[in-house]
Structure 1
Amino acid sequence: MHYFEDQALHDYRFIRLGADYDGAEVSLELEDPKGSPVTIKIGGVTAVSMTRTEPWGKGSCVVSSDIQYDENNEKIPTIHLDSGDEIEVRTKI
């Protein structure tokens, strides 16, 4: 999950979200600032959400990424896009 810490995904372009329900895994496909593909796989998924309302206008570049913890001590990796949209994945620790 090091990708989510310290804004490591800043300026990456978000391309696709994939889910393996039976395997409790989510894959995030991105493109780094040089155009190289990057796939991040997250296991132990309990929930995932993605908005696409574009409150700040069109865009698919990451402006920030972070990991938080909820009251049940689940990890919540989150990506904020320049469109104002958000991708959030909840995982068991």
Structure 2
Amino acid sequence: MTKKQTTIVFLITATIANILLILILLVLFTVAGGLIFKENLGTALPFLFLGAIISGIFIYQKAVKFVIRKFNLEDKMEPLFSHNRRGPRD
């Protein structure tokens, strides 16, 4: 596999894991919100949804960095974002 193919497979797998993580967090937050906000769950649900998304993104970011470092994937994948600074356009 080339570096580009490895990067694509990693990103697809990580994206699927991120979606599953957010769904699990949404269920957990909804259950916890149902226990805390028994009568006002409908009002709290948008905030629980946003909390699940933000928590999922934060956990995803930390997990991806951990996996890349743990399995030494820096040299096996292409950089996702280039850090080259371009000069001003003429």
- Give TM-score scaled by structure 1 length: 0.25
Looking at secondary structure, tell me which structure has more helix per residue: 2
Larger strand proportion of the pair: 1
Q: What's the TM-score once normalised by structure 2's chain length?
A: 0.26
| Larger Cα-atom Rg | 2
Larger RCO: 1 or 2 (CA < 8 Å, sep 6+):
2
